[in-house]
Structures are given as structure tokens and as C-alpha cells.
Structure 1
Amino acid sequence: MTDHADTDDLRILPTRDGQVGYRVGGEGPLLLLMASTGRCCAELWPLAKALQGHGFRVARVEPRGILPSRGPMQNVSFHDFAADFATVLSAELGEGERAIVAGHAYGTWVARTVAADHPDLVAGVVLLASGAKQWPQHLSAAITAINAPETSDAERLAALRLGFFAEGNDAGEWLTGWHPEVVASQRAARVLTPQSDWWGTGAAPILDLMGGADPFRPAGSEDELVREFGDRVTAEAIPNASHAMPAEKPREAAAAIARWWGGLQS
């Protein structure tokens, strides 16, 4: 559940065609967090707080369309979104430093684009509940239903339980916090960005951190990135978590990230 006592500093930077807002706190290696489709960074506060406890400085960046971030929302691609996040990295990193870039669900695609477009800024990439290369289309339909104004709360809750929350976890907090206009922009950007532009994720090491009950990772897809990219990828699944894994299990996710990063440094 979201801890609303968010104590991280709010910062705003100008971009080429707007501005990008983010919250940052903690001490240590910089780790940048991106939220899921149509969601804001506030829900990542429990994860950020846990990561700070493991010795990371964490920046949670709002996507375009969620204030204070703003910029063109039409005819844009993942590369435009990645440029916004790279603006934050350039401001927060010291000379010669690189950051860990972590994205949740949709945010994994943008994180991978940042790594591909700005490899000099990225030391590693964390994929939080990344979807498989292909997943059942009824899950995409569930996201559409969640964001439709005519959807009742009961129908929205059913869609959240179907696609995002494992059995026994509270999906109610995600009944709100959706930004349909951001979802529309992000979906259009996906269409305008060839998958080949970002799929390789630059040359950075990757943590593929899955929810053990995530329907967006159907059976047989759990090791697809390991099979494709070999030793660059560490794959791990968190039990009793679905596609909303960073919100369902923030402490467990933070511990897994810390273990992975510590292993890379040893």
C-alpha cells in the first residue's frame, strides 16, 4: 500500500519542449524509477523508501502529462520520453557517474530506451514486472477498461485483479490514480517506436524482476530474456505478486535489486 508520508525533495528541470518533475531522496548510487502506464510516481514511494534503506539515492520521475512534468503528448515516441529521463540523469549524476534505471511494466520499455539511447548514463537496468514479448490480448483490454470512464468500480476492480494483483493482495488502492490521457499518449508512442530501437537495452546488465503470478509473463516466457541476452540478464520472481509487483511487494523488490547490484559490484 502507498505510504503517503512522502518526504523526498521535489525538483523540476526544463526540457527541450517542456519540463520534467521528479522526487529524489537517499544517499548512494543513483537509481531512477519510472511508473507503469498512466500511473504517477507517488505509488513508488514505498519501494523508493525501501531502496534508500539499502543505500541507494532514488529519483522517481513523473511522465509527461502528470504534473509537474509536461511536454508534447502527440506524435511522440519512446525516444522523446527517454530524453526527459536523461535530463534528470544528467542533472543528478556527477562527472563520469552512471545510474541504475528501473521501470515498472510500461516503464520498462522506456527504461530500455534510455539505456539504448544514452548508454553513457546507464550502469544497469531493472525491469520491474516487465511483460513478455507477447502476452494474452485480454490483458491489454483490461487496461483499456480500467481507464474507460463508463467502467464501474466493480468492473475496474475485477480488471485489476485479473491483470495486476495476485490473489489476496489489495487491488482497491489502484481504483484511482489513473490518467487516461497519459495512457493514450503512451500507447501511441509505443506504436511510433520500432521495438528494435530499444529491445537490446544498450549493453547494460539487466535484472528481470518478475511477479511470480504475473499473467503478462505466461508460462514459458520467464527466461526469454536470459535465452536472448545470456549472462547480461539475471532473472528472479517474487512470490505472491502480479503485474503490480512493486506496489504489492516493495520491500521484497528492493531487497532483490540490492542483491543484484551488490553482486555486480563484487
Structure 2
Amino acid sequence: MSEPSDINIQANGIRQHGIEWRGRDGAHLVLLLHGCGSNCWNWYPLGKRLAERFGDRVHVVALDHRGCGDSERPSTGYTPDVCAQDVLAVREQLTDRPATLIGHSRGGWMGAYIAGRFPDEVAGLVLVDPARMVWPSLEAADAFYERVGRGLGPFDTFDDAIANAKRAHPLAVWSEDRLRGLRFGLREEGGKLVGKLPREVLAQLRAARVDSDEVGPYLANVTAPTLLLVASTSDERRQGEKLAYGSGIPGTEVRFFHTSHYMHVDAPDDIAATVGDFLARRVDALAVAGA
């Protein structure tokens, strides 16, 4: 159970790639949603630990979102609603029951959007240092997407890509698992390494978030038990932007960790223990209900 398999699912009109730790038939589905510019392999530390803890009682799937990793990269379809339908179409293919969504950064933003727009589809929600719902300024948005864009290269060597990533995320722990996720997000082109995420897709991801608050208006509709994990190393304003999810979603459980934004890679044992305890309550409740 500790090592995942590749999975490719034709859903919502595109092929979506991911890695999975497959449980028994009827196992509770856990979908892991990555952040902007990331990919499914950045979930490996958490997915592995959840699979080891729960065995075949859960089916853990870390997705590459459209345009990312080894999923298809159509030229359009990067609005919140289409991206939500991607996730829901995967859920429908894998189970006829609500799933637990665990999202990091933009994936947390998307998970909250799905749980608010389609509450009956979500059994549990974990937001791992989620992306801000509203940008404080256009300059802040530009700085973020420019940093993501620099991660797309081109790079002469993988060492150059690592050096760029370390400059962008100086507090992150650069484990072998983190490096594997970085490498998976790159491809060779013309003797260089470039990001699998096309720059024109990054521009559309930016456009989907800059002009309006797509998530906040739906938070009060979330009915799933929710766990919010916040990196305490970020400044007070940034922490406030994350805690806004907890203020909007009734009954949110909040936990702080002294890590970088990539807490699930920095401190995988601690994060897996916290998420696992939360998930255990969902799995146990479903077992009692016979679901």
C-alpha cells in the first residue's frame, strides 16, 4: 500500500492523470488537490502515510489538475466551475459516495469552492495553507504569478531548477520527496528543462482569481466537517487571509504548524497524524452508517 500506481481517468472531456493508493471496493475516496504550478507527486509524503495508516479502508488519489503534470493541457477550461467539474467527474468515476477533499494552496481554494457549491459531494474538507481568497493588490498577484512563472524555466540543468526553487521558497525542507515532485513537473524541450504547465495556462489560472472573490460567497454553504492547517511562519496578514476560511465555514477546526507553505512536505509525519485523526472520524462514521 505504501507505493502508488499511476491512474488515468477520462472525465469532463479530458484525460486526468494522478497517482493512487487503491483501497478495497467501497473504500472511502480521498482526493488530493495540489497548488498552482505543482503536481500530484507533491502529495506523495501524505498519501503514503494515509495509505499505511488506513490500509484498504481508503482510496487515496492525488490528481494532476488540467494543464498540470501529466494530465491533458487543453487551451481553455481554467475557470473555477470547469476545474470543479473536473474533480467532480473524477469522483463520479471512482465512487458513488461523497469524497474527502484535501487541498493545498490553490487546491485548498478549489476544495472550498467545491464544498460550498456542491456540498452533497463532499464528506470532509482539509485546507492545507490555502490560497488567499482575495488578492490585497494587483501588484501582489503579479509578484506571485511571476514567481510561479520563473519555476517554469527554461533551465540548463536540474540543479538550476533546484536553485530557483530554493530562492523562491527559502523556508521549505528540500527532501528527496520534494525534489521528486519538482522533477516530475519538468520536461525536456530543446535541450532545456521547462515546466509541464504551459505559460498560457498559467495566465488563465491567474485571470480566474485576480478580478473577483470566487470562493468567499459560498463558504457558508459548506456542510462537510472542515480542518484548516495554517503555516505560522507566514506574516500576520497572510495568516489572516488563511484564517478567513475558518471564519466563513461553520465549525472549522484550526491547527497551526511552524513550517513553510509546503507543510505536508516539510513535516509529513505531523501533518499526516493530524489529517489522519481527522479522516479517521469520517471513515469510522461512514462505517457505522454502513456507507
TM-score interval for Structure 1 and Structure 2 normalised by the shorter chain? 0.7 to 0.9
- AA aligned to 2:80 is F
1:22, distance to aligned residue in structure 2 (A): 2.1
SS class of match (1:37)? coil
SS class of match (2:169)? helix
Structure 2 residue aligned with 1:46 = 45
SS class of match (1:218)? helix
TM-score of the pair, normalised by structure 1: 0.79
Deviation digits for residues 150-182 of structure 1 (CA, Å, limit 9, x no counterpart): 897655522211xxx35xx33883765353534
1:99, distance to aligned residue in structure 2 (A): 1.0
Q: 1:9 aligns with which of 5, 12, 18?
A: 5
Structure 2 residue aligned with 1:21 = 17
Root-mean-square deviation (CA, aligned residues, Å) is 3.2
Q: How far apart, CA to CA, are the structure 2 residues paired with 1:145 and 1:201?
A: 33
Q: How far apart, CA to CA, are the structure 2 residues paired with 1:223 and 1:99?
A: 23
1:192, distance to aligned residue in structure 2 (A): 6.8
Q: How far apart, CA to CA, are the structure 2 residues paired with 1:41 and 1:216?
A: 29
Q: Structure 1: 5+ residue runs without aligned partners?
A: 1-5
Q: Is the 8 A contact 1:142 1:159 kept in 2?
A: no
Deviation digits for residues 4-29 of structure 1 (CA, Å, limit 9, x no counterpart): xx832322222343221222214342
Q: Is the 8 A contact 1:51 1:254 kept in 2?
A: yes
SS class of match (1:235)? strand
Tell me the percent identity.
23
Kindly tell me: are residues 146 and 20 of structure 1, through their superposed partners in 2, closer, same or farther at Cα, counting changes over 3 Å? closer
Kindly tell me: are residues 217 and 47 of structure 1, through their superposed partners in 2, closer, same or farther at Cα, counting changes over 3 Å? farther
Q: Is the 8 A contact 1:24 1:59 kept in 2?
A: yes
Q: How far apart, CA to CA, are the structure 2 residues paired with 1:115 and 1:222?
A: 16
Q: How far apart, CA to CA, are the structure 2 residues paired with 1:122 and 1:51?
A: 18
Q: How far apart, CA to CA, are the structure 2 residues paired with 1:115 and 1:138?
A: 27
Q: How many residues align?
A: 253
When Rg is computed on C-alpha atoms for both structures, the one with the higher figure is: 2
49-58 or 13-22, which moves further after superposition?
13-22
SS class of match (1:185)? helix
255-264 or 117-126, which moves further after superposition?
255-264
1:84, distance to aligned residue in structure 2 (A): 0.9
- AA aligned to 2:120 is D
Structure 2 residue aligned with 1:69 = 71
Q: How far apart, CA to CA, are the structure 2 residues paired with 1:74 and 1:210?
A: 32
Deviation digits for residues 187-213 of structure 1 (CA, Å, limit 9, x no counterpart): 222247642455446322211012232
Kindly tell me: are residues 70 and 198 of structure 1, through their superposed partners in 2, closer, same or farther at Cα, counting changes over 3 Å? farther
1:83, distance to aligned residue in structure 2 (A): 0.8
Q: Structure 2: 5+ residue runs without aligned partners?
A: 186-194, 286-291
Q: Is the 8 A contact 1:34 1:61 kept in 2?
A: yes
- AA aligned to 1:259 is D
Q: Is the 8 A contact 1:17 1:72 kept in 2?
A: no
Q: Is the 8 A contact 1:90 1:121 kept in 2?
A: no
1:117, distance to aligned residue in structure 2 (A): 3.4
1:89, distance to aligned residue in structure 2 (A): 0.7
Aligned 1:1-266 pairs, distance under 5 A: 7-27=3-23, 28-55=27-54, 56-74=58-76, 76-94=78-96, 97-133=97-133, 141-148=143-150, 149=153, 154=163, 156-161=165-170, 165-166=171-172, 169-170=173-174, 173=179, 177=185, 178=195, 179=197, 181=199, 182-191=201-210, 194-195=213-214, 196=216, 198-200=218-220, 202-215=222-235, 218=238, 220=240, 223-231=243-251, 233-239=252-258, 241-263=259-281
TM-score of the pair, normalised by structure 2: 0.73
